[in-house]
Structure formats: C-alpha cells, structure tokens
Amino acid sequence: MSQTKAVRIDNLQYANWSEKIFRQMRQGGVDAVHVTIAYHENFREMVFNIERWNRWFEQFPELIFHGNWASDVVKAREGGRTAIYFGFQNPSPIEDDIGLVEVVHALGARFMQLTYNNQSLLASGCYEAEDTGITRMGRQVIKEMNRVGLVVDMSHSAERSTLEAIEISERPIAITHANPAWWMPALRNKSDEVLKAVGQSGGMLGFSLYPHHLKDKSACTLSSFCEMVARTADLMGIDHIGIGSDLCQDQPDSVVEWMRVGRWSKEVDYGEGSRDNAGFPPQPDWFKDNRDFGNIEQGLRKTGLSEADVGKIMGGNWLRFYEASFTPA
Amino acid sequence: MSQTKAVRIDNLQYANWSEKIFRQMRQGGVDAVHVTIAYHENFREMVFNIERWNRWFEQFPELIFHGNWASDVVKAREGGRTAIYFGFQNPSPIEDDIGLVEVVHALGARFMQLTYNNQSLLASGCYEAEDTGITRMGRQVIKEMNRVGLVVDMSHSAERSTLEAIEISERPIAITHANPAWWMPALRNKSDEVLKAVGQSGGMLGFSLYPHHLKDKSACTLSSFCEMVARTADLMGIDHIGIGSDLCQDQPDSVVEWMRVGRWSKEVDYGEGSRDNAGFPPQPDWFKDNRDFGNIEQGLRKTGLSEADVGKIMGGNWLRFYEASFTPA
C-alpha cells in the first residue's frame, strides 16, 4: 500500500440505523464498522436482521456495503464507503447447533460473543453470581469457530470464562467493547489479568465509549479517556488495542430494555442502569456520533503517542486482526 | 373411590412408540405413562412430536389418550386405557423465552428438566465439570413453572443445581428417573443428601430400570432392585417414591447417540456408555417391557413392604403428586 492516512475502524456499534448515520460514518471517515446483528435473536431472527442490512446495502450503495474480509476495509477506503461487518453479542443465533457456526460465517458473521450478560450454553456472563468457565459445548464451539474464522468475543463474559476462552482458543480472541476496570470499576470492564492475557495471546481490546463504561460516565473527559488508552497500551502492547465504541445512536430506551431483558425474565433487569436511570445514558459531548472520531484521534496525539501508534489504535490494529482472523484456519 | 386395585404409573419412558407398545401398556395394566417428547428439540420441533402423538391418539383411541390432569389417570383406569403425559428432558423447547413456559403447559407439558447432561440456560447438567447452580434465567423460569403447573425435573442435573432447585422452587420437584448413588455409583444417580432433600420437600423420585443406573447393569437382579427401593423408602419416606423406568424400548442405537450428542458436538460423546459399548444396553430379563410391572410389584411384596406401600410405589404416590402439581398455583 502507498503511504496514506491510516484506516479508521470502529469495532462495535449498535445504532438505530438510518441514512443519516451512514452519512455520518462517511463524514467521520470511518472505513469499517462491526455492527451487532444479534442480542437475543435465534438463527431465523438473526437472518431477518441480515435481510434488513441487505436492503440498506441495496438502498445506499454509495455509502455502505457488506464487509466479509479484511480486504474490504481497503476497498471501502479506496471507494469512499464504509464496510459493514456483522457480529453477535450472544451465541443465541447458533441455538444449540454447532453446525450453525459454519453457516453463520458463510452469512458474514465475523465476531460472536460466547455470552451476553447471562449464562449461555457456552460460558458464563458477567452478571451471573457464579462463573463456571467454558462448558462442554463451549469447548466444541470455540474449536469450530477457530476452524471457520469466527472470532471469539468475550466482551460481556465473566472473568474465569474469559481467561479459559483465551487459553482454549487456538486463534487470538477479542474483547470488542470494554475498558480497563482500574479506570472505571464497572462489572463489564476488565481486570489487568484479562487484559494482559488478551495482549499476550495476540488478541484485541476495543475501547468503549458507552457512558456506563467510562470514568465519570457521561461527564468523562476526552483527556481522561485518552490517558487511559495510553496506559492500557503500556499494559497490553500497542498492537492489541483499538476502538469498539458501543455507540447506540438514536435508539429509543425500549431497545436498551430489550438488550437487558430479552425474553429470559418477566421482571425488569436494569443491567448497568438502575430504576432511576433505566434508559440509554447521554454520550459525552466529545463523542456523540461517527463524526467525532477525529476528536479521539487528536486526543490520543496529545497524550504523546506517535502518529504511527495513533494510527494503530484508530484502525490499523483491527485491520491486521481482521487479516489474521476472518479466513478459515 | 371404591376399593380397587392401586393405580399403576410409569413416570418416564422414551420408546420407539408403536401399536405393539401401546398394547403392552394395556397388558401390563399401566394406567399412565409420562413420555419424553424433547431431548434437544426446540419449540417447533417439540410441537412436531406432539403432532405425532396426536396422530397416535387418533389412530389408537381404545388404547391411549392424552393425559392433562391427575383425573385423567382415573379416567384411564376406568376406561381400560393408558393416559399419556408429556414431558421434556431438556429445557430446549422453551428456547430463551420465559413466555414459552405457559405455552408448553397449555400444550400439555407437565415435567421439564432444567438440564439434560450439559449446562443449559437454567442450570448445570451432571456431565459438566463445574456446577454453578441455578442461573439468573433459571430462577425466573422456576418461578414461572411453579405458577403455571409445570414440574421441575432434575433427573439429569448436577448436585448443586438440584439442591438449589429444591430450595428455590415453591412447589415440590421431581427426579423422574434415577436411583440412589449408594446402590449404583453412576454419575446420573443421586446422593443421599439430594434424595433426603427431595423427600423432605414433598418431591418424588422415580426409580429407573435403565441398565446404566442399575447395580450390575443388565445383570441386576429383581431382589437387589426391590431391596434398594425398600431402603430408599426408609431414607426418603414411603410417600415420595415411584417408578420412572426410563424404558427406551425398540429404539435403534442411533437414537441413544442423538440423545447424547444432539447438535452440540461434532465429536461423539458416549455418555453413560463407552466406545466399546455405545448402544442401548439390554434390559434385565425381569423388566423388558410394559408387561413386566407385575414382576416389580411381586418383588416389592417379597421385601416385606405392605400392600398399601407397594400400591403407593407402583402409582399411588405419582397420582397424589400429579394432583398437587399440574394445575396453576
């Protein structure tokens, strides 16, 4: 490749998608976005979500297209479009069927969390009181994910399950959207032990911009966020970090209730929120939508990180990870 | 009721159903059978199995009919037929949807295991290395099962999960098919602690005739089995035991592979069997099919149990449990 501006990748968004947002992706120079297409959906329901994306791809071909391989990031960059990669925040789309791992990869799924907040058939979620680690089926499924090129994502999983997934997986895993717990001790943020293990195994952490994962939540400052990124680079290695903003733009609060409660409970579960603060929290003013990635890039420069390192964080590392991860073993 | 012969209930069978077997039920004087209609089936697949049963009910109305309530046992008895009650050995039919608990009860499901051999969304199966107990969704689902009248069955669940289910459930639970581990230390058989807790909470144990659960397996003697039953009566109380034969009559060995492996593994799992002994084991010669319940009844008399107590074990206890369990709370 010729010397060009570094690629810009956001490795997790779940917006209420619209032409407006796709245009903002272009205004923000975002070459690729990994979008969530399943929280609680079973296989058929997840396919409905792919059908919706297919209609958007048909409607807005000048803005977005379906990304399958790492090379699609470059293709997006060159064509001034954004490549959209599919992923699941729950293994619900494979139901109880290991054969669906290969099928969902063929449909374009590139990341799959082994759990959302609860116990799954594969592992324990971070909201369970107990964490058994990887189950019998989980061991089989990780092996199959490694084989076909579906990345293990442990963003919402509990500590022991995460450490075991790193150990069991023969290919590097990702934590697509979370922050270090030392900076913000949220249940969803990760211990130094987990972060080090991810880095040492060649994996990736995507830093989250979701206010419940930020120090001081919606009041978090850009400099605090960027200093945290720089310190995490020291802990994990500069090659193992990127962005996974968890941007849930334009979603009504009914959606965060669905994300938390799905169909598993008749009672309301407030997850990271609370009865008094049940909805989506407001974004910090320096990261409201896809147009604001430049703010983060500038903030990272101010911490003293080199231009090359800033480029790695803003997308270069994810691109390298995509190259290594999405094709069959 | 007038003084009549005690009812005869087998609270677990999974045969390769046929007119021959339905006629044997009549020859054996079996008033009611709880049949498994789901091992790994999701909701829609379980409904296919109900459709198959509906066709059998239509074809053989003089032999069998769908049992919904305890009163159907008496109706079966009076009409010389066998009432067929539906149950699941896995919560797979409710998928991830608590709303399906009420729906499956409306369709006739009366027992649901919280797990088969593996970790489920609700609890840990006895073949997992770790046992977390009841999950977040499990607590919600038990409450809903209690509300609608769907019995919690922990036959294949791990120890801690079973003890927690007994504690959490506000209605007595069942272990529909297993034996005491002191008699035959199989992974599927139950500790004294579990058996005592089931008895003290008003629950039920159904004694299994599946050879892997029997002392000396297929060579188990009738007297050994009946002595075990009598000793378990001392441990649990005479009112808390019955039969749950786990009879898998006329099934090809491909079915036991499906039961064990489902869709969760690409590798073969031998479950209670082994590579050299992968298929269904032969039944002991004193319990080959539904015509042999008289052998067990006679064997129990020989242990010195009273006629009244033998009647409780052969069906009276299950009938009382059905009366208390199948209607909404």
Per domain, the residue ranges of chain A are 9-325
Could you give the count of Cα atoms lying within 13 Å of B273 in the half-sphere of its Cβ? 18
Please say if the pLDDT value at position B189 is more than 90.
yes
What is the spatial distance between Cα B329 and Cα B327, in angstroms, rounded to a whole number? Answer: 6
Across the A:B interface, residue pairs with CB atoms under 8 Å apart total 97
Low-confidence ranges of chain A (pLDDT < 50): 1-3
Given the candidates 3.30.479.10, 3.30.470.20, 3.20.20.140, 3.40.50.970, the CATH classification of the domain at A9-325 is 3.20.20.140
Å between A45 CA and nearest CA of chain B: 13
Quote the pLDDT of residue B3. 43
Cβ of A263 within 8 Å of Cβ of B135? The answer is: no
Helix H, strand E, coil C: the string for B200-214 is HCCCEEEECCCHHHC
Chain A residues touching residue B267 (CB < 8 angstroms): 140
Q: What is the pLDDT of residues B251-284, one digit of tens each?
A: 988 888 889 999 999 988 888 888 888 888 999 9
Chain B residues touching residue A269 (CB < 8 angstroms): 136
CB of B285 closer than 8 Å to CB of B278: no
Nearest CB to B96: which of A128, A130, A264? A264
Across B57-66, average pLDDT = 97
Given the candidates 3.20.20.140, 3.40.190.10, 3.40.640.10, 3.40.50.410, the CATH classification of the domain at B92-325 is 3.20.20.140
Q: How many CB atoms lie within 10 A of CB A207?
A: 27
Å between B133 CA and nearest CA of chain A: 8
Q: What is the ipTM of this complex?
A: 0.80
Cβ of B263 within 8 Å of Cβ of A98? The answer is: yes
Q: What sign does the dihedral B71-B73-B76-B81 (CA atoms) show?
A: positive
Nearest CB to A121: which of B99, B120, B267? B120
Quote the pLDDT of residue A279. 87
Percent of chain B with pLDDT over 70: 99
* CA geometry: angle B121, B14, B154, nearest 5 deg: 35
Which residue numbers of B have CB closer than 8 Å to A's CBs?
40, 42, 92, 95-99, 118-121, 124, 127-133, 135-137, 140, 144, 262-267, 269
How far is residue A115 from each of residues A122, B98, B148, measured CA to CA in Å? 7, 18, 29
> DSSP label at A112?
E
Quote the pLDDT of residue B4. 54
Chain B residues touching residue A156 (CB < 8 angstroms): none
Which residue numbers of A have CB closer than 8 Å to B's CBs?
40, 42, 92, 95-99, 118-121, 124, 127-133, 135-137, 140, 144, 262-267, 269
Residue among B56, B18, B51, B11 at smallest CA distance from B35: B11
CB of A27 closer than 8 Å to CB of A290: yes
Q: What is the pLDDT of residues B116-158, one digit of tens each?
A: 999 999 999 999 999 999 999 999 999 999 999 999 999 999 9
Closest chain B residue to the Cα of A131, Cα to Cα: B132
Cβ of B96 within 8 Å of Cβ of A262? The answer is: yes
Across B311-321, average pLDDT = 98
pTM equals 0.88
Chain B residues touching residue A127 (CB < 8 angstroms): 136
Closest chain B residue to the Cα of A139, Cα to Cα: B265
Nearest CB to B264: which of A98, A124, A267? A98
CB of A38 closer than 8 Å to CB of A89: yes
What is the spatial distance between Cα A220 and Cα A246, in angstroms, rounded to a whole number? Answer: 15
